[in-house]
Amino acid sequence: MAVTQAAGDVTRVGDRRRSSRAVWVRLVVSAVLLAILVSRIHLDAVLPRQRHLSTLAFFAAGVVVTLLGIVLSAWRWQRVLVVFDTHVRLRTLVSHYLAGQFVGNVLPSTIGGDVLRVSRGAQTTGSGATSFASVVLERLTGFVALPLLCVVGVLARPSLLQADRAWIALAISGVTLVVLVGILLVAASPRLAGRFAEHENWMRFIGAVHLGVDRLRHRPRLAASVLAAALVYQVSTVLVVLLAVKTMDVSVPVAAVLAFAPAVAMAQVLPLSLSGLGVREGMLVLFLGSLGVSAGPAIGVGLLWYAMTLLVSLLGAPAFAVGHRHPAPADQP
């Protein structure tokens, strides 16, 4: 037993070291990407061109919409939990989501907000498998809504296709949908993910995802409500980017924001940098540059977008510190 415990301690130490290295790698990548971008511009170009009351008003509105987006995210999560016949108060899920945002965007950790949400959700629902599957499916719904919004933006303003790099946004959307379809095919297959549904070990989490996908297939109205919630949330994300554009006093068509913001959101999900820093700004330089926006304002839009998210994430500090004091099988609506 002593040998087993010692081996477990060594494994945990190794995991912490790998986690710490991953954090530093992402931090370095973010710093390098931002340094490359900033080195090509004058720092004043990152600031809004016209600084007056409306600048502050647009920024404040962006923070408010970002907070609203957290509530909408929690609502989307709530709708997914219904798939598993689990009902949780929206207030509880908002608290979990804010705590996850605090971990994911403020604390230098590779744990990530989703891992914390799974943990807190397991305490609330009484099932780790249900919590895990609900978070996975909730995230996957975003990869349906984001490509859809990108296409809608292009259809609303077909002239965007004449922009040099607009095709990249459509390519990102296409690749995302292909990957999503692959994941869903595996998750829906009784022979692949379905065979883990009855397992009692960690593989039951995979089985729970299969169960969720299978229920969505046979309950189209519920699936439609989940996708509608995902779409509403992603629209709020586009609105945040639009308010960041307005704060910078940059002239960009609304349809262009609708087409390009989802592509940026999809790209920054890749675990390359810390909280998407550098990747987000680089993608905005790429897309907005094709519309005649210089690199400075484009970087400014990205940093404002991040600043809005960071400010709202700080509100999750109390929820993260307090934790979930009263675990229960499930909260009733």
Q: Does 332 map to a domain? A: no
What integer pLDDT is reported at residue 27 of this predicted model?
59
**pLDDT 10s per residue in the chain (333 long)?**
433 343 343 334 344 455 556 555 655 655 665 566 566 665 555 566 666 778 899 999 999 999 999 999 999 999 999 988 899 999 999 999 999 998 888 775 545 788 888 889 889 988 888 888 888 888 888 889 999 999 999 999 999 988 888 899 999 999 999 988 887 787 777 666 555 555 444 455 566 677 777 788 888 898 899 999 999 999 999 999 999 999 988 889 999 999 999 999 999 887 666 677 788 888 999 999 889 888 888 888 998 999 999 899 999 888 888 864 444 444 433
The total number of structural domains that make up the chain: 1
pTM: predicted TM-score of the whole model, two decimal places: 0.81
- Which of 327, 324, 312, 257 has its CA nearest to residue 287? 257
Please state the φ and ψ torsions of residue 156, each to the nearest 5 degrees.
-70, -25
Cβ proximity of 301 and 285 under 8 Å: no
Q: Does 7 map to a domain? A: no
Q: Does 67 map to a domain? A: yes
Cβ proximity of 140 and 180 under 8 Å: yes
Owning domain of residue 199? 15-40+54-322
Q: Does 48 map to a domain? A: no
| Nearest-10 crossing angle of helices 128-156, 112-125 | 130
Cβ proximity of 312 and 296 under 8 Å: no
What integer pLDDT is reported at residue 295 of this predicted model?
84
What integer pLDDT is reported at residue 15 of this predicted model?
45
Return the residue matching tokens 């009855």.
198
CA 213 to CA 199: how far, in whole Å? 17
